[in-house]
Amino acid sequence: MLLVVILFLVFLVLSLELFYHSKFRLQTLFISSIVFLAFIEWMAVVVLLINICIAFLFAQKIEKDKWKDVWFFVGIALILFQLIGIKWWAGNISFSFHWISISIGLSFYALQNISYLIDVRAKKIVAETNLLYFSIFNSFFPKILCGPIMKYQEFKPQLLTLSNYKEENLISGINRFIWGLTKKIVLADHLALMVKEVFDTTEETHGFTTLIAAFIFTLQVYIDFSSYTDMAIGISRMFGFNIPENFAYPFSSKSFTEFWRRWNITLMKWLNQHLYFPILFVFRKNMKKATFIAIAVTLLFSALWHGVGATFIYWGISHIAFISIEMLLRNREIKVNKNLRAFITIAGISFANIFFRAKDVSSAKKMMSEIFSISDFLPHDFLSGFISVFASGGEQIDFFNFIVVMLLTLLFFVFERRIMEKLVIDKLNITWLFFLIAILLVFGVFSTGEEFIYARF
């Protein structure tokens, strides 16, 4: 992991140097993005370029040809076929990681291009005629792996108004990038090691331990995904680009509906615009029925977007159930303390995430049976049955790391908003940066670093 971080930092510095000192800045940016993706998996570049060509060429036909509806549906079908086909291939064929990794970033740029074709057909934008602009929109390396998802009309104006080097862009970008890197290597990767001890074992685990592991995984997913967003926003800022935020403190949510408004914001915005609201419109004569149908279809699509597998279907069904129950109770005069509502929300999210993280449905059901086992819910010995499970290894240093990471995670959630206020500025805060780098070097997981969870989707 340390070597990967060093290599990426060298790549980033070289890319910035070439970008700001080149007469052909857009070409340089595109080449840097392709090199970045090719370093991870060269076949992923082929998949990306095919997707770009489909969207670019079909948009031209949709705008000018009399058979525009045919071109539109064929274009959408081809992108979906590529998305679903490669995801199914990667998820169900027993090949090495080389074959799984060809779908890197596909889930994100495929949705961007579907939205682009829809907007061209609706005449919200004109079809792009500059292939370089459109290629950079899709390949821009800070957001290629895990988003955020953008519309072309949000990105293109920034290509047309590229500014010269600005120190404030570099400083605010560095602030955000180091914050994201610290979250990833110090918190998310440590939590991943704890989660593995429960989710990847074949041994029986006490219900309480399993329940806490599900909660820790929920923390891990958020910190891992949001750390990528932090780094993506930071790097984009260094190049003079602004990309949207993707999270709005989801752990402060008091309901499942609110959670989804705060989580993976750009994906939910895409789903609302292209699935939820159109379904509501189609079934508008019966709004109660329309709402349930829209929720079910939207969340099932979200589940399949994450992966073509039974575990994700169960995960989607769980969220459909939670939001449906919430809607049924909404009109009843049931007053629940806001802290209790927040607890119920995160508990439900964590419960559903058992399906999200489990290797298969049978493993998820095994873990749930452990949670609902009354006789074996609490470990008889908390040291061996709970703490030692998460402090993998069981040595004194493992217990120390476990305690430190849990304390740092607690401090992260308590002070997250304040830290963001300190770091999302265009002034160099030496004290904060020194503090973050010190924590990064002392407690970072450099030996067994984890890939970003959402890079798999």
94-146 per-position pLDDT tens digit? 444 445 577 889 999 999 999 999 999 999 999 999 999 999 999 999 999 99
The upper half-sphere exposure of residue 271, i.e. CA atoms within 13 Å in the direction of its Cβ, equals 22
Q: What pLDDT shows up at residue 385?
A: 60
Q: What pLDDT shows up at residue 92?
A: 57
Per-range mean pLDDT, top range of 228-242, 281-295, 440-454: 228-242
Alpha helices in 381-429 (DSSP H): 382, 388-390, 396-423
Poorest-pLDDT segment among 154-158, 270-274, 417-421: 417-421
- Count CB-CB contacts under 10 A for residue 440: 18
When pLDDT is averaged across residues 40-63 and rounded to a whole number, the result is: 94
Torsion angle, alpha carbons of 108, 110, 115, 118, to 10? -170
> What values do phi and psi take at 427, rounded to 5?
-120, 145
The CA-CA-CA angle for residues 299, 274, 83, to 5°, reads 70
The distance from CA 190 to its chain's CA centroid, rounded to whole angstroms, is 18
Q: What pLDDT shows up at residue 206?
A: 79
Nearest to 354 by CA among 206, 199, 197: 199
The upper half-sphere exposure of residue 193, i.e. CA atoms within 13 Å in the direction of its Cβ, equals 23
Q: What is the mean pLDDT of the chain?
A: 87
CA pair distance 347, 335, nearest whole angstrom:
19
Predicted confidence (pLDDT) per residue in 53-107, tens digit? 999 999 999 998 889 999 999 999 999 999 888 877 765 554 444 455 778 899 9
Say which residues have a Cβ less than 8 Å from residue 435's Cβ, sequence separation at least 6.
none
Whether the pLDDT of residue 371 is over 70: the answer is yes
All structural domains of the chain with their residue ranges: 20-162, 169-456
Whether the pLDDT of residue 432 is over 80: the answer is no
Tell me if the pTM is above 0.85. Answer: yes
